[in-house]
Structure 1
Amino acid sequence: MKEFKAGQLTVKVFATRKQMGTQAATDAAATLRYLLTHQETVNVIFAAAPSQQELLEALQKEPGVAWDRINAFHMDEYIGLPSDAPQRFGNFLKAAIFDKVDFRTVNYINDTERYTALLKTHTPDLVFMGIGENGHIAFNDPPVADFNDREVVKTVELDQECRQQQVNDGCFATLPDVPTHAITLTIPTLMKAPYIYCVVPGPRKATAVYNTLQQPIETRFPSTILRTHSGAVLYLDADSSVKTGELCNC
């Protein structure tokens, strides 16, 4: 494992995707145990994507985490898919972790007003996220990303690169099958959490990782905002880190 800093962001690079996910889970579980010794409940936001699979599998095996004191939230969701569609992020998370451990509450994002009120009374403590091929975090694509967004939750139109990624990931057969709109937590909502664990494996994310670490911090590259967060850690594997050599001597 190699570790370096990009601004305030800690970056950890692993040889394999499994090592990356396992270490992210180990680190996050340690933080959860720490938080649970200092507060009665902990609020955690989960991202739904194939990139999160190794993390989620390892996380639920971590010992000593009082899941029954953790409120689970999900980060973003398509608009317009049937409730039982396997592509719905809520259904992904339900199968991957929400049904696997005994959370205090599980909260699905399905409307802006209710979810905004919920998050105002349950301030996020920890966020699990990835980075999209277009640099988005949650569904804050470059055209709609706003580092000073006044909203907690908002409805957005998805850009074509974001929608194409869903096809590339094997979630949809063709681009027309991918919904055009979604509901998402905004960037300030995510960034307010004291701890962010960002897991980004795979060769298709190499350019997005390079942009995250090297481009100016601006909404053309939404994930660059992570470089301003001292509690954020970016986990990479060999494939996603191939363009970071000059930063980490990888």
Structure 2
Amino acid sequence: MNIKILKDSIELGQEAAKYSAHIINRAITEKGKARIILSTGASQFDTLKALIESDIDWSKVEMFHLDEYINLPISHPASFRKYLKERFIDKINLKSAYLVNGEGDIKQTIEELTKEIRKEPIDLGLIGIGENAHIAFNDPPADFGTEDAYIVVNLDEACKQQQVSEGWFPSVKEVPDQAISMSVYQIMQCKNIVSSVPFKVKANAIKNMMENPVSQRIPATILKMHNSMALFLDKDSAFYL
């Protein structure tokens, strides 16, 4: 694992974007296009901002994302589809974007996403780490066994509280109980993984990830098994290291 500790979230975002842009551009040079996975949440703001300002031919990039709440409309402030459209998709000219729709026929949605994501390898996954050390919405104890690409998961209380603390919902009771999430297995199929993890609220998750063996109770520990993993921290999130 390649670990970089930066001054703050802005510098972290710039360095993570620079590193990611190199991977994306290399894929475009080698095969004419790149396939990426994006995370959402407050921790990704600065990385995504810097990434869209990078010198990348976005018309040659296919984008997937990690998760979406079940039965939450795209108009809701917490919708990850809304997040990505406003902060990323609408600002560039992507080749294509495959969004996780948590409304309607969930089984069909998962089947369609699975078909698309498994057509070719994913060159880069920008994978955030939650306060409870989840990756995507794979809360502890995460399912390390399934090889399905996307699964329906139950959100734990710590995960729900993080969504409230970041301002996406006014109270825990308004956070949906379930979401469609990319599986741990599918995340680990990325050729390269970049994790942008700023802020003091993530410090304990990073400490647990680094100090413990791979465990379903600490889902992010699985990332240590990836052969091309870059972890970008700021001084706050690296507080306990």
Q: Is structure 2 residue 48 aligned with structure 1 residue 56?
A: yes
- Displacement of 1:119: 1.1
Letter of the 1:27 partner, please give it: Y
TM-score (norm 1): 0.91
**Count of matched residue pairs:** 234
The superposition leaves residues 164-209 of structure 1 with CA deviations (integer Å, 9 ceiling, x where unpaired) of 1101111111001111100010011111111111000111100000
Q: Is structure 2 residue 215 aligned with structure 1 residue 218?
A: yes
Of residues 81, 87, 96 in structure 1, which corresponds to 2:78? 87
Q: Is the 2:23–2:123 contact (alpha carbons within 8 Å) kept by the matching residues of 1? A: no
- Displacement of 1:148: 2.9
Q: Is the 1:48–1:90 contact (alpha carbons within 8 Å) kept by the matching residues of 2? A: no
Letter of the 2:212 partner, please give it: Q
- The aligned counterpart of 2:4 is 12
Looking at structure 1, the residues matched to 198 and 69 of structure 2 have their Cα atoms a distance apart, in angstroms, of: 23
Of residues 137, 142, 160 in structure 1, which corresponds to 2:135? 137
Looking at structure 2, the residues matched to 210 and 198 of structure 1 have their Cα atoms a distance apart, in angstroms, of: 15
Q: Percent identity?
A: 35
TM-score (norm 2): 0.95
Looking at structure 1, the residues matched to 90 and 209 of structure 2 have their Cα atoms a distance apart, in angstroms, of: 33
Q: Is the 1:112–1:155 contact (alpha carbons within 8 Å) kept by the matching residues of 2? A: no
- Displacement of 1:223: 0.1
Q: Is the 2:223–2:229 contact (alpha carbons within 8 Å) kept by the matching residues of 1? A: yes
Structure 2 gaps, min length 5: 102-108
- Displacement of 1:17: 1.2
- Displacement of 1:233: 0.5
Of residues 26, 35, 47 in structure 1, which corresponds to 2:39? 47
Range with bigger deviation, 195-204 or 120-129: 120-129
- The aligned counterpart of 2:176 is 179
Of residues 228, 233, 241 in structure 1, which corresponds to 2:230? 233
Looking at structure 2, the residues matched to 185 and 53 of structure 1 have their Cα atoms a distance apart, in angstroms, of: 20
Q: What secondary structure does 2:159 align onto?
A: helix
The superposition leaves residues 94-120 of structure 1 with CA deviations (integer Å, 9 ceiling, x where unpaired) of 111111110000111122111111111
Q: What secondary structure does 1:80 align onto?
A: coil
Q: What is the CA RMSD across the aligned residues, in angstroms?
A: 1.0
- The aligned counterpart of 1:115 is 113
- Displacement of 1:147: 2.2
Q: Is structure 2 residue 185 aligned with structure 1 residue 201?
A: no
Looking at structure 2, the residues matched to 183 and 122 of structure 1 have their Cα atoms a distance apart, in angstroms, of: 21
Q: Is the 2:74–2:81 contact (alpha carbons within 8 Å) kept by the matching residues of 1? A: no
The superposition leaves residues 64-116 of structure 1 with CA deviations (integer Å, 9 ceiling, x where unpaired) of x1110100111100012123112100110111111111000011112211111
Q: What secondary structure does 2:10 align onto?
A: helix
- Displacement of 1:123: 2.7
Looking at structure 2, the residues matched to 84 and 90 of structure 1 have their Cα atoms a distance apart, in angstroms, of: 9
Looking at structure 1, the residues matched to 52 and 73 of structure 2 have their Cα atoms a distance apart, in angstroms, of: 28
- The aligned counterpart of 1:98 is 89
